[in-house]
Every structure is written in structure tokens, then in C-alpha cells.
Amino acid sequence: MGLGAYRPALDHGITNPYAHLRQYVVSGTLEPDIDPAVTVVPNDPIGLIRELKREEGNDSDIWLCGGGRLAGTLLPEIDELVIKSYPVVAGAGVPRFDGVFDPTLFDVDRRTAFSHGVTATHFTRRR
Ligand SMILES: NC(=O)c1ccc[n+]([C@@H]2O[C@H](COP(=O)([O-])OP(=O)(O)OC[C@H]3O[C@@H](n4cnc5c(N)ncnc54)[C@H](OP(=O)(O)O)[C@@H]3O)[C@@H](O)[C@H]2O)c1
């Protein structure tokens, strides 16, 4: 998570939102000892992801929770996307990928459409 994705839970006093997972929060301002279950990463999130991918015997997936600024930085390391769409026009908001202009191709693996108009689409990065 970036600090922006971690913040909504933190504002309600929740410092360990995904207790079943190893959790990393990318932030240069968050206190490093916010929670024993959370590792605060002050810089180089790309380095963190490459290190996790290299971990010997690590066959677990790495889940990028968000938000858009962190996703923009991590785009070169993203192998799969799960995007939910809602039938709402907001007009403005937080970009899903807040980075430099760099069109990156993905292929649709599967899409689930729900009766209330929401879709969930799984994509794989085109190599
Ligand atoms: N719909 C969903 O599934 C979903 C999921 C997650 C988040 N969200 C929403 O997305 C919003 C947050 O997104 P966001 O783009 O504003 O924030 P974000 O990427 O989560 O966090 C931005 C903050 O995290 C740190 N950070 C992130 N990337 C960094 C990088 N590359 N290098 C250094 N520091 C970095 C910085 O904190 P410091 O200033 O402390 O250094 C920065 O201010 C929230 O509204 C949240 O609710 C939605």
C-alpha cells in the first residue's frame, strides 16, 4: 500500500488492516513503528518488489493494494491487474496509475459481470 491507501483505515485507528498478510506501506512520513505487523518502506518501492520476487522459495503472490501514485511507480513490475468498474460517472478522482505517459498493454483473461452493473476484469501483462 501507499500511504493514501493505508490512510482510510489508519484514520479509524486500524494499523493492521490485512492481518493475514505480510504488509508493507510505502511512505516517507509515516512513523516506522506504526505497527509490528507492518513494514514501512520510506523509498524505492520498485527495489522492494524486485527483492520480494527474488525471495528464495517465495511462491506467494504480491498484491498491490493501491493507490494510484504507488501503482504508477510500480507499473513496470505489475504482471496482472484486477479492475472493478462501476456504472457511475464521478467526473474527477484519484488516477488508477498516477505516473508518466507510458502506454502498457494488457490482455483480458476473464471478466465477471454482476447483475447490478459492476464488472470485475482480470488482465495479464502482454510480454
Ligand atoms: N478502490 C480501491 O480498490 C482502492 C484501493 C486502494 C486505494 N484506494 C483509494 O486511493 C486513494 C489513495 O491513492 P493515492 O494515489 O492518493 O495514494 P497512494 O499511492 O496510496 O499513496 C501516496 C503516498 O504514499 C507514499 N508513496 C506512494 N508511492 C510512492 C512512491 N513511488 N515513492 C515514494 N512515496 C510514495 C507517499 O507518502 P509520503 O508522503 O508519506 O511519502 C505518498 O504521499 C485513496 O482515496 C484510497 O481510498 C482505492
Phi and psi at residue 24, to the nearest 5°:
-125, 135
- Whether the CB of 2 sits within 6 Å of ligand 1: yes
Closest CA to 35 of 11, 5, 15: 15
For residues 3 and 26, the answer to whether their CB atoms sit within 8 Å is: yes
Dist. CA 49 → ligand 1 center (Å): 16
CA distances from 45 to 28, 96, 112 (A): 11, 17, 31
Dist. CA 85 → ligand 1 center (Å): 19
Give pTM, 2 decimals: 0.93
DSSP code at position 66: -
Dist. CA 113 → ligand 1 center (Å): 28
25-79: per-residue pLDDT in tens?
A: 999 999 999 999 999 999 999 999 999 999 876 678 999 999 999 999 999 999 9
For residues 25 and 2, the answer to whether their CB atoms sit within 8 Å is: yes
